[in-house]
Amino acid sequence: MDDPPPPPTTTTGWWSGAVGYQVYVRSFADSTGDGVGDLGGVLAHVDHIADLGVDYVWLNPVFPSPGLDHGYDVSDYTTIADEMGGMPAFEALRDALHDNGIRLVMDVVPGHTSSAHPWFVSARRGRDAPHRDFFVWRDPAPDGGPPTNWESVFGGSAWEYDERSGQYWMHRFLPDQPDLDWRNPAVRAAFDDILSLWFERGLDGFRVDVAQGLLADPEWADVPDVPPDMPRAQGNDLRLSGFMGRPETPALYRSWRRIADRHDALLLGEVALSSPEAVAAYLSDDLLHRAFFLPLQHTGWNRDEIAEMLVGAVAAGGGRFAWPQSSHDDPRAATRFGGGATGTRRALAFLHLVATLPGNPVILAGDELGLENGLIPAGLAQDPVSGRGETLVASRDGSRTPMPWDAERPNMGFTTGTPWLPLGANRAAADTVAHQRDDPGSPLQRTRRLLETRRGLTGMLATDDVTWLDLGPDLLGLRRGDVVVVCNFGPSTTVDVGRCRLLVASSDDAVVDDRDGVSIGRDTTVLLRAAEAVTSP
């Protein structure tokens, strides 16, 4: 029997305005004592996730994998890795989250497999082998070298020579991560089946890894040299343009969208491009539902830089962007914004700001505690980019250090064994969930209050329209619905935004006085309910 037709596509769904919580599973909690986080560890802390007030959990990869890139080298897309707890652990976590009204989203890695995946094992047997055309192969250049000058994101050439067949295979990342050929209909059909399988198992969506990286230039042209004066982000776009961000890539997601809509499931793209307009090209009622605006993860604490970025992104993406402040690939916000108490204060202010934008704020586990990057001794580095020479990404270990749960327990409650990564800098009792749970001024409690308040702002959440307010050189202000938001990047100040009531603030340095206006401390964001119109002067 044919599949039923999909429901009418709309710009709304359960994900509209939803708050995401990213769990880097290896570093969240270990239930077996082997030192590596697993799904049983996530299950043991569903109460923390539910109390935080998020709407969905996104898990980093939990499929079987040799682990050379910590799960992003997938050897089987159809089941859960034994070391993560297998299918029983997935089912138990899915049910526990659903019982708490929380959806479950997992990573899918469509651009490449592990070299241990049966498809690639088959493909390497020869030019006529089964699944050979599932991967990108090219003959050598006339001089016998790589077919193009393309660089891997992880350093070195994007081509690896196969002596048996005399051809090169392409890899955007590690040589052990051979790239799939998405111009092959059989590859597309295989992933249609993978998505259907997981949605039928009750998964609520996929975060699509490197969503812009499925197709390569069919002309196999060398990329030009990056001009020395080109900004870094645009330079990386150019450097990777042979196999990233091809204009025909977004159309590949139409079949995925039809499948997802039949199951009321979310497709959330990691579209790693610097231009908001380029990211928005992947978003429509028949493509991806949402995409991260990743440049946010690279900002410093600079009012003009953040303002320019947010204004452009909101204009391009409307309510379809997801707003991360940190991730497993980039420095945590508290570190990026200066470290220590100052960095944590600024990170909270930033979260309060982006949580009011149209779209979806996403919190990396640990950011609700104000965690900084851990410092990893060179001999204990785990990231595969470590020691590979010049790459387009720095070591990511610092943002992946284990979650500190309770200072009274071994390894802060993360594991009874030896942690796969050191806990790093986050070893004080004040950094733990147990300590912050009872401290009303802690980052954890401030994050909870923000999300609880946000959930009740139905007037704000009902519209994607944003009015940006010109309040002065140190202030970034906006109005959305009946909510006015002001972030102060400079010294304590008082600003007149009309009659209003304070809803929540990222610090205690915020007072509303009907005569004098709103007093806002340094590095503080306030959310205000407006009693009368507030417009840009």
- Kindly report which listed range (38-47, 411-420, 513-522) carries the lowest average pLDDT score: 513-522
Q: Are residues 469 and 367 part of one domain? A: no
The half-sphere exposure of 419 on its side-chain side, counting CA atoms within 13 A, is 24
Residue 308 backbone phi and psi in degrees, to 5: -60, -40
pLDDT score, position 10: 40
The answer, yes or no, to whether residue 536 has pLDDT greater than 90, is: no
Residues 6+ apart with CB under 8 A from 142: none
Q: Is residue 14 assigned to a domain?
A: no
Helix (H, G, I), strand (E, B) or coil at 395: coil
Query: What does R_g of the chain's alpha carbons equal in angstroms?
Result: 23
Helix (H, G, I), strand (E, B) or coil at 321: strand
Q: Is residue 16 assigned to a domain?
A: no
Task: Tell me the pLDDT tens digit for each residue of 62-115.
Answer: 999 999 999 999 999 999 999 999 999 999 999 999 999 999 999 999 999 999
Closest CA to 158 of 143, 167, 166, 169: 169
Helix (H, G, I), strand (E, B) or coil at 263: coil
536 sits in which H/E element: none
Q: Are residues 481 and 445 part of one domain? A: no
The answer, yes or no, to whether residue 491 has pLDDT greater than 50, is: yes
Q: Are residues 217 and 362 part of one domain? A: yes
Instruction: Show which of 404, 438, 455 is a domain's final residue.
Output: 455
CATH of the domain at 217: 3.20.20.80
Q: What is the mean pLDDT of residues 336-341?
A: 96
Task: Give the Cβ contact number of residue 470 at 10 Å.
Answer: 10
pLDDT score, position 418: 96
The answer, yes or no, to whether residue 135 has pLDDT greater than 90, is: yes
Q: Are residues 128 and 204 part of one domain? A: no
Q: Are residues 416 and 378 part of one domain? A: yes
CATH of the domain at 477: 2.60.40.1180
Using CB atoms within 10 Å of the CB of residue 183, give its burial: 0 to 12 exposed, 13 to 18 middle, 19+ buried: middle
Q: Are residues 448 and 477 part of one domain? A: no
pLDDT score, position 126: 96
pLDDT score, position 328: 94
Q: Is residue 484 assigned to a domain?
A: yes
Q: Are residues 331 and 388 part of one domain? A: yes
Q: Is residue 17 assigned to a domain?
A: no
Distance from C-alpha of 93 to C-alpha of 99, rounded to nearest angstrom: 10
Q: Is residue 357 assigned to a domain?
A: yes
The domain containing residue 209 runs over which residues?
22-113+186-455
More confident residue, 236 or 31: 31
Judged by phi (left if over 0) then psi (alpha if -120 to 50, else beta), residue 485 lies in: beta
Q: Are residues 299 and 427 part of one domain? A: yes
Number of structural domains in the chain: 3
Q: Is residue 249 assigned to a domain?
A: yes
Q: Which residues are catalytic?
A: 209, 270
User: How many DSSP H helices and E strands does the chain contain?
Assistant: 14, 19
Q: Are residues 343 and 228 part of one domain? A: yes
Residue 370 backbone phi and psi in degrees, to 5: 75, 30
pLDDT bracket for residue 3 (50, 70, 90): very low
Q: Are residues 211 and 244 part of one domain? A: yes
Q: Are residues 130 and 108 part of one domain? A: no
Q: Are residues 415 and 308 part of one domain? A: yes
Distance from C-alpha of 142 to C-alpha of 180, rounded to nearest angstrom: 24
Q: Is residue 535 assigned to a domain?
A: no
Residue 432 backbone phi and psi in degrees, to 5: -90, 160
Q: Is residue 5 assigned to a domain?
A: no
Distance from C-alpha of 407 to C-alpha of 400, rounded to nearest angstrom: 19
- Mean pLDDT for all residues in the chain: 94
